[in-house]
Amino acid sequence: MPLLTKEEAQALLKKVLSYSKAEECEANIYGSDGGNIRYARNSVSTSGGVTQNTLVVSSAYGKKLGTATINEFDDASLEKVVRRSEELAQLAPENPEFVPFLEPQTYPTESKTFEPSTAGIDPKFRTDAVAASLDIAKQDSLVAAGFLENSASYAAMMNSKGLFAYNTSTNVNFNVTLRTKDGKGSGYASKGYNDVSKLDVAASTKFAAQKATGSVESKAIEPGKYTVILEPAAGIVLLETMFFNMDARSADEGRSFLSKADGKTKLGEKLVDERVNIYSDPQNPDLPTANWNGDGRPQEKIAWIEKGVIKNLYYSRYWAQKKGVKAIPSPDAVVMDGGTASTEDLIKSTEKGILVTRLWYIREVDPQTLLYTGLTRDGTFYIENGQIKFPIKNFRFNESAVIMLNNLEALGKPERTVSGESNIHAMIPPMKIRDFTFSSLSDAV
Amino acid sequence: MTGMGLGATVLPRIPVLGKEVPLDAPWYNVDVATKKKMADIALNEARSKGATYTDVRIGRYLNQYVITREDKVQNIVNTESYGIGVRVIANGSWGFAATDKTDTDGIAKAAQLAVAIAKENARLLNEPVKLASQKGYGEVSWKAPIEKNAFEVPMKEKVDLLMSVNDAALKGGANYVNSIIFAVNEQKYFASSEGSYIDQDIHRIWPTFTITKIDAKTGKFETRNSLSAPIGMGYEYLVPSDAEKIKGLTTLYKKRYDMLEDARFGAKQVGEKLAAKSVEAGKYDLILDPSNLWLTIHESVGHPTELDRVLGYEANYAGTSFLTLDKWESKKFNFGSKNVNIVADKTQVGSLGAVGYDDEGVQTGEWDLIKDGILVNYQVIRDQAHILGLNASQGCCYADSWSDVQFQRMPNVSLRPGKQKQSVDDMIKNVEKGIYIIGDSSYSIDQQRYNFQFSGQLYYEIKNGKIAGMLRDVAYQSNTQEFWNSCVAVADESDYRLGGSFFDGKGQPGQVSAVSHGSSTSRFNGVNVINTARKI
């Protein structure tokens, strides 16, 4: 089914609002049209195509709020979802923290999030891509498991104050694991773009193949503190634990890694190495994102960490109002500055260390210190005198992104990567970190 | 019930298959006759395009969230999703398509797309899909045996309960409290080209809270989460009953949960947690309450016995498994000690996994996974049964929505209670140096399920058979086989309780499933405990 154009979305949302009897009403609609293909054991396993749309309606009476969603769009269903949200709002007690819906906003120029070529991907394209990946696996006598998904989507919102926002985007993600037939070696690659022409399935598969063949006959070395080089696919899963926890209210309330004694926070303080600069920019050509967020606020370029200093936190509209500050929304994606060195250059400059391809199963251990645990996976190598010496067995780590960014040795050239944990996209450099804490060995390959 | 209502300019308004949705029907369930008609459109269309097998799932998925913090209801949300998923085999290969456009045209197009995708996929096929035989059941139905539909309980009752819970936590000294009631209803209909038309109604509920206390002077904070379990029940789970309580250091709950009482304990305990002694790293004998052990069972037994992982179908995401087929074939792979008997089921009343039929129309049952410590079986669906020499599926197929393809998902996986009478107190009095752990927290395990690390909500130090106060900064790390071989005692069935998750993630695109894990309190000797305190 085609995506709703701006005019169609506007017409539908107007109709939804026309049913409203509440004091305030806000409707969001989003939908996507896409497909996916999954393969394993060198053959396609599951694949499919899916079209879906969701309408979310929030109604408010005074400070009472109710929300209902539906994915049916005949007139009766549209009226039903509006009524249901109204019923819920009337049943809800007053929420003193309720903030009236937003007035109309001015949005920055729409960023280039939609690429027609990506929207045009069909089942044959996906199967051909998998065929190319499987050819490489078979040539190298490896076993491939992978996933390619694409989607074209739109999102729109309108409220009774007259706000209207709309955008479209496309996305394609590809990730692959290649394993040796004896199960002793494993390699991984993951890429994601708005524009499918940037995706090179064969190159990614070759990268994973190299990791797989290179990681057989791994040796166990003692757990402990090591210098590590985290490739972007490994680094992102730890860095994102910071981004997910930069909420101002949690910090102000004393329950975040950014809280200090006596109700103070670390906003404005230098928390990590001064070479760390992290920001979000919806217009970034390598990582464009929507120019508005889900509640209608504009998304602008925001510095989060500058020269190691915490520059901004994100706010709910209520908390910003209470604190008398600008209500900066949480970003859709972040960019971390780096240098010009490649991962290979970082290896060459390393006397002793460990190259980490991927970190996996990341879970919070202590929110106070942002301590997380997880394991290395799909290619972990020992480096000596600037060269990869041998593959090593996987480790469990217990580490904090804050400690890690204080132990920074060097940053390489940023590249677009996809988190294997959250699926978010980010531009981050490979990072060389000293004293990274590995706590135990794992037998997993 | 219709296509996009964007007006005639976008799509034709095709006559609806069923009735108009009445506005006064709050939780409208599509009638079975309409669903059968819809299913038959897909079955016929797929067959005419060359499918040799087709199944159709029509699902209406309802969620309700009542979300609060302190003295405020932040939001009340009802979500509803309705659509149809069509899965086919054509040219020996699977294909799937789903749509929320559930008129005749929309359904037919989804069936056509599923067949087209299957034929594309067949180009890369190594061997054709081999389905275990399955009889058609005709028109049948199954309903979860709930006493009180949570969606029909007046909103005020839910709000009042959460407000009283929050009030108790704040009066008990907490700085913040978040609480939520999360209710789920899956109304799902399955039809296959083998003659099954199965209508099912499934209910789940999860009441939970997090209590936070802050020491303003030091800037330190601690939380204590609810000791409830997400469960396959109606609102009756929230009606307290003394018969379903286990009293001790804190009250623990079986099939009825006293949320208010737990909040009172929580408020007191979160303060104790702040003041607790930091653990000294080393080896301890662990006494694990079912509210902690369920997650360890889930990760270290549930996942590695999934046959799709063993075979490599999840290699790119969730991972593979150390429980390779040769270990099962040997019939002597020593997974755990003799005390370890682990059973899989989709039938336990009140469990999250309980259904009459799975999502490929197989009637559900129960089977052993680990018997007297030995690996004896896996979790299997129809296209895998032949690999184990089985002639029928075990009924482990599930999809979290009409829009996602069904695949092998974990049934309930539970540790059988000990046969000899043994209480938790009996267990503790024999421990010289140990930790008694209640509740779940951090969890992480490698992609083949060897190395894991878990934390909890409450850690009590055991010294010479006695509880010696609370500890903090505790995490236990072990290797699955080593851990289960260190299991020296399992309490009897009077202590048996279910834990579980609403959100077990697996697959690409990612899907969640709800699953329960039962156990009685168990003892594990000499487990490695690390200290997780850091400074930033």
Domains of chain B, by residue range, sit at 282-531
| Range 194-213 of B in CB contact (< 8 A) with A | 212
Chain B neighbors of A70, CB-CB under 8 A: 80, 82
How is residue A425 written in tokens? 């996209």
Classify domain A6-212 at the CATH superfamily level: PmbA/TldD superfamily (3.30.2290.10)
**Cβ contact A271:A310 at 8 Å:** yes
The pLDDT, as a whole number, for residue A195 is 97
The pLDDT, as a whole number, for residue A47 is 83
Q: Which residue of A has its CA nearest to B216?
A: A262
Per-residue pLDDT reduced to its tens digit, B149-194:
999 999 999 999 999 999 999 999 999 999 999 999 999 999 999 9
Residue A13's SS3 state is helix
Residue A323's SS3 state is helix
Q: Hey, are the CB atoms on A11 and B7 less than 8 Å from each other?
A: yes
Per DSSP (E only), the strands in A367-442 are: 371-384, 387-391, 395-400, 408-411, 415-418, 425-428, 431-441
When CB atoms are compared, the residue of A53, A183, A445 closest to B4 is: A53
CA angle B488, B489, B494 (to 5 degrees): 170
**Cβ contact A184:A148 at 8 Å:** no
The pLDDT, as a whole number, for residue B173 is 97
**Cβ contact B397:B408 at 8 Å:** yes
Which residues lie closer than 8 Å to A118 by C-beta, 6 or more apart? A150, A152, A170, A171, A172, A193, A194, A195, A196
| Range 381-410 of A in CB contact (< 8 A) with B | 394, 396, 398, 400, 402-403
- The answer to whether B450 faces chain A, any CB pair under 8 Å, is yes
How is residue A275 written in tokens? 């070479």
Hey, what amino acid is at B158?
A: K
Q: What is the sign, positive or negative, of the torsion defined by CA atoms of B339, B342, B347, B351?
A: positive
Chain B nearest CA to A401, separation (Å): 10
**Cβ contact B230:B205 at 8 Å:** yes
Chain A neighbors of B162, CB-CB under 8 A: none
Phi, psi of A22, rounded to the nearest 5 degrees: -80, 170
Distance CA B48, CA B442 (A): 51
Give the number of other Cβ atoms within 10 Å of residue B143's Cβ. 11
The H or E element spanning position B187 is: strand B176-192
The pLDDT, as a whole number, for residue B28 is 56
Which residues lie closer than 8 Å to A282 by C-beta, 6 or more apart? A108, A111, A288, A289, A290, A291, A299, A300, A301, A332
Q: Hey, are the CB atoms on A366 and B159 less than 8 Å from each other?
A: no
Q: Which residue of A has its CA nearest to B84?
A: A50
Per-residue pLDDT reduced to its tens digit, B191-232:
999 999 999 999 999 999 999 999 999 999 999 999 999 999
**Is the pLDDT reported for residue B480 higher than 60?**
yes
Q: Hey, are the CB atoms on A254 and B219 less than 8 Å from each other?
A: yes
When CB atoms are compared, the residue of B123, B219, B536 closest to A400 is: B536
Place of tokens 């007259």: A162
pTM of the model: 0.95
Residue A242's SS3 state is helix
Distance CA A147, CA A136 (A): 15
Q: Hey, are the CB atoms on B532 and A39 less than 8 Å from each other?
A: no
DSSP B104: H
- How is B281-313 classified by DSSP, letter by letter? PEEEEEEE-HHHHHHHHIIIIITTTBHHHHHTT
Q: Hey, are the CB atoms on B450 and A442 less than 8 Å from each other?
A: yes
- The answer to whether A40 faces chain B, any CB pair under 8 Å, is yes
What band does B2 get if pLDDT is binned at 50, 70 and 90? very low
CA angle B369, B375, B378 (to 5 degrees): 45
| Range 323-382 of B in CB contact (< 8 A) with A | none
Q: Report the residue count for chain A.
A: 445
Distance CA A398, CA A225 (A): 10
The pLDDT, as a whole number, for residue B141 is 98
- The answer to whether A419 faces chain B, any CB pair under 8 Å, is no
Which residues lie closer than 8 Å to A344 by C-beta, 6 or more apart? none
Distance CA B519, CA B23 (A): 45
Q: Hey, are the CB atoms on B442 and A72 less than 8 Å from each other?
A: no
Average pLDDT over residues B398-409: 96
| Range 389-418 of B in CB contact (< 8 A) with A | 403-405, 407
ipTM of the complex: 0.94
How is residue B317 written in tokens? 């995401």
The pLDDT, as a whole number, for residue B8 is 26
How much of chain A is in helix, strand and coil states, percent to nearest 5? 25, 40, 35
Average pLDDT over residues B340-344: 98
Q: Give the number of A-B residue pairs with CB atoms closer than 8 Å.
A: 322
Chain A nearest CA to B124, separation (Å): 6
- The answer to whether B243 faces chain A, any CB pair under 8 Å, is no
A365: left (phi over 0), alpha (psi -120 to 50) or beta: alpha
The pLDDT, as a whole number, for residue A49 is 80
Place of tokens 């699953």: B515
pLDDT above 90 covers what percent of chain B? 92
Average pLDDT over residues B378-395: 95
Residue among A286, A278, A291 at smallest CA distance from A332: A291
Per-residue pLDDT reduced to its tens digit, B519-529:
999 999 999 99
- The answer to whether A124 faces chain B, any CB pair under 8 Å, is yes
Residue among A41, A127, A27 at smallest CA distance from A84: A27
CA angle A78, A97, A93 (to 5 degrees): 65
Q: Hey, are the CB atoms on A175 and B316 less than 8 Å from each other?
A: yes
- The answer to whether A8 faces chain B, any CB pair under 8 Å, is yes
The pLDDT, as a whole number, for residue A58 is 96
Distance CA A91, CA A96 (A): 15
Q: Which residue of A has its CA nearest to B64?
A: A68
Q: Hey, are the CB atoms on B455 and A365 less than 8 Å from each other?
A: yes
**Mean pLDDT split into 10-residue runs, chain A, 445 residues:** 87 98 97 94 87 92 94 92 94 94 94 95 94 97 97 97 97 97 97 97 98 97 98 97 96 97 96 98 96 95 98 97 97 96 98 97 97 98 98 98 98 96 95 98 97
Which residues lie closer than 8 Å to A80 by C-beta, 6 or more apart? A70, B21, B23
Distance CA B192, CA B85 (A): 12
Residue among A273, A91, A47 at smallest CA distance from B125: A47
CA angle A373, A378, A382 (to 5 degrees): 85
Residue among A392, A388, A384 at smallest CA distance from A351: A384
How is residue A2 written in tokens? 């085609």
Q: Hey, are the CB atoms on A145 and B312 less than 8 Å from each other?
A: yes
- The answer to whether A133 faces chain B, any CB pair under 8 Å, is no
Phi, psi of A12, rounded to the nearest 5 degrees: -65, -45
When CB atoms are compared, the residue of A71, A255, A363 closest to B214 is: A255
Per-residue pLDDT reduced to its tens digit, B487-515:
999 999 999 999 999 999 999 999 999 99
DSSP A93: P
Q: Hey, are the CB atoms on A396 and B123 less than 8 Å from each other?
A: no
Q: Hey, are the CB atoms on B313 and A45 less than 8 Å from each other?
A: yes
Q: Which residue of B has its CA nearest to A9?
A: B6
Residue among A87, A82, A89 at smallest CA distance from A19: A82
Distance CA A301, CA A108 (A): 10
**Is the pLDDT reported for residue B6 higher than 90?**
no
Per DSSP (E only), the strands in B247-357 are: 252-253, 277-278, 282-288, 342-345
When CB atoms are compared, the residue of B23, B80, B219 closest to A259 is: B219
The pLDDT, as a whole number, for residue B11 is 26
Mean pLDDT, chain B, rounded, equals 93
The pLDDT, as a whole number, for residue B16 is 30
Give the number of other Cβ atoms within 10 Å of residue B163's Cβ. 17
- The answer to whether A73 faces chain B, any CB pair under 8 Å, is yes
**Is the pLDDT reported for residue B12 higher than 50?**
no
- Between the two ends of chain A, the Cα-to-Cα distance in Å is 42
Domain segments of chain A: what residues? 6-212, 216-239+338-441
Chain A nearest CA to B363, separation (Å): 23
The pLDDT, as a whole number, for residue B18 is 30
The pLDDT, as a whole number, for residue A2 is 66
**Is the pLDDT reported for residue B78 higher than 60?**
yes
Task: Select the residue from B100, B409, B477 to test the A interface by mutation, using most A Cβ atoms within 10 A.
Answer: B100
